[in-house]
């Protein structure tokens, strides 16, 4: 339908444009478009003047809302209705209910395709239903979930044909031509691991840790145990795991423990264990205190699976975890990681008073001992100041803490 040029020019004005927007909303809500007042429309004096070019000066001065029947009467002179005018300019408008129904049908269709892909490779329906309920999966409706399920099915098919064991990177390279496709930081790797956990009734893997390795091991897949590592100093580990033997062999010397070295039987005496982020702290502590330094774990940035497995084991053995990191966004992530495996961890100068002092700003001077509460208070303070403070700047203070702790424990 052709809209006369004069009307086309009129609807481009802010006032008429606001009227058309209100009509579009009514169409989407399946409300009447040819009669009724637009009572929710808030118009300026200038907008009323613009609309009055169509409805007349009397309407402008009346202060009344726009009535659709008045607009329809004027448009009828040009063989237009209110709705036909809107759709001539904006195209067909789909009602919200129809749009929701269509979107829902797309979601249902994708869920059916997803379930079909997994059923085709022998995954039982109850397992598929539980897997689809995982919050870590893409939301259905855009085709991403169905595509992911097809790749998961390819991996599951390959696993069914394997005799003995296969390494995770080799499996990824064989099936997907990408040795890292099944890593824990890839959605496909997490999707397959969580499906395997359901199949074998194991805990849901959250990261590349014990649950992750157990899920893959149940299907005969061996995860890389040497890339993930953690720096430690004077850890009192005992047992026959390689990590315990390594720690016993190097008192006073910072050593790297791999995830592989932590596999096996090990425990620790219930002592205070300090946790830092940067290797400089561990090396300086070794230089200054040597074998007398309290047990120290360094995450070397974002904590690895090895670091988190180690801290989980230390916490389970009764050690008191005293953790800190840089005062910056990555530091808050590390603190959150520590809390995920050691919920009762304490703060090691990772609190508002320390941050306020080191950054030269003001802040609450109450020291919060629990790490969880300290992080919550710090996050608020950091957002206000937004000034990073790294551990290296506090090195002398941290070494004094370690020295004092060593003297107390003697």
Residue ranges per structural domain of the chain = 5-93, 99-222, 229-409
Condensed to tens digits (0 to 9), the pLDDT of residues 350-391 reads 999 999 999 888 766 777 889 999 999 998 888 888 899 999
Percent of the chain past pLDDT 90, that is, above it, reads: 88
According to the model, what pLDDT value does residue 410 have? 64
> What is the band of 206 on the pLDDT scale with cuts at 50, 70, 90?
confident
**Would the pLDDT of 297 be above 80?**
yes
Beta bridge pairs of residue 174: none
Dist. CA 168–CA 187, nearest whole Å = 15
> What is the band of 408 on the pLDDT scale with cuts at 50, 70, 90?
confident
**Would the pLDDT of 212 be above 80?**
yes
- Averaged pLDDT, 249-276: 95
Lowest-pLDDT choice from 42-56, 169-183, 242-256, 357-371: 357-371
**Would the pLDDT of 98 be above 90?**
yes
- Averaged pLDDT, 183-206: 95
* DSSP single-letter state for residue 340: H
DSSP H or E run through 255: strand 255-258
According to the model, what pLDDT value does residue 368 have? 80
According to the model, what pLDDT value does residue 318 have? 97
- Averaged pLDDT, 6-24: 95
**Would the pLDDT of 143 be above 90?**
yes
According to the model, what pLDDT value does residue 124 have? 95
Percent of the chain past pLDDT 70, that is, above it, reads: 99
> What is the band of 174 on the pLDDT scale with cuts at 50, 70, 90?
very high
**Would the pLDDT of 44 be above 80?**
yes
According to the model, what pLDDT value does residue 363 have? 67
Q: Which residue has the tokens 């929710």?
A: 40
In 80-135, where does DSSP find H-type helix? 82-90, 96-119, 125-132
Dist. CA 294–CA 233, nearest whole Å = 8
First to last CA, the chain: 92
- Averaged pLDDT, 135-153: 96
- Averaged pLDDT, 268-279: 97
**Side-chain half-sphere CA neighbours of 11 within 13 A:** 19
**Side-chain half-sphere CA neighbours of 187 within 13 A:** 12
Residue range 229-409, CATH number = 3.40.1360
Looking at every residue in the chain, the average pLDDT score rounds to 94
Distance, C-alpha 134 to centroid of its chain: 14
Task: Name the token pair of 380.
Answer: 């608020």
């Amino acid at each position: 339908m052709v809209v006369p040029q004069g009307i086309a020019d009129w609807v481009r004005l802010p006032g008429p444009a606001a009227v058309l927007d209100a009509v579009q909303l009514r169409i989407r809500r399946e409300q009447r478009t040819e009669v009724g007042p637009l009572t929710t429309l808030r118009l300026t004096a200038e907008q009323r003047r613009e609309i009055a070019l169509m409805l007349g000066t009397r309407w402008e001065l009346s202060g009344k809302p726009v009535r659709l029947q008045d607009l329809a009467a004027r448009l009828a002179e040009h063989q237009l209705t209110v709705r036909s005018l809107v759709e001539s300019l904006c195209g067909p408008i789909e009602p919200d209910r129809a749009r929701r129904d269509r979107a829902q049908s797309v979601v249902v269709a994708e869920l059916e395709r997803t379930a079909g892909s997994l059923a085709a490779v022998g995954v039982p329906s109850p397992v598929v239903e539980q897997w689809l309920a995982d919050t870590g999966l893409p939301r259905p409706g855009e085709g991403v979930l169905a595509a992911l399920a097809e790749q998961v099915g390819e991996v599951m098919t390959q696993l069914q044909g394997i005799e003995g064991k296969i390494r995770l990177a080799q499996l990824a390279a064989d099936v997907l031509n990408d040795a890292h496709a099944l890593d824990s930081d890839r959605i496909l790797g997490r999707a397959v691991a969580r499906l395997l956990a359901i199949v074998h009734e194991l805990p849901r893997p959250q990261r590349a840790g014990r649950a992750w390795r157990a899920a893959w091991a149940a299907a005969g897949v061996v995860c890389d145990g040497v890339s993930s590592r953690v720096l430690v100093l004077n850890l009192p580990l005992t047992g026959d795991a390689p990590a315990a033997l390594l720690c016993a062999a190097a008192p006073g010397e910072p050593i790297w423990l791999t995830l592989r070295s932590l596999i096996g039987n090990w425990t620790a005496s219930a002592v205070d264990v300090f946790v830092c982020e940067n290797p400089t702290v561990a090396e300086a502590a070794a230089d200054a205190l040597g074998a007398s330094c309290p047990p120290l774990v360094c995450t070397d940035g974002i904590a690895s699976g090895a670091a988190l497995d180690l801290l989980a084991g230390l916490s389970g053995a009764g050690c008191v975890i005293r953790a800190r990191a840089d005062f910056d966004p990555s530091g808050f992530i590390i603190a959150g990681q520590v809390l995920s495996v050691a919920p009762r961890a304490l703060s090691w100068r990772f609190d508002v008073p320390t941050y306020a002092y080191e950054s030269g700003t003001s802040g609450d001077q109450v020291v919060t001992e629990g790490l969880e509460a300290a992080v919550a208070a710090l996050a608020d303070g950091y957002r206000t100041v937004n000034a990073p403070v790294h551990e290296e700047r506090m090195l002398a203070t941290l070494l004094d803490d370690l020295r004092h702790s060593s003297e107390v424990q003697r």
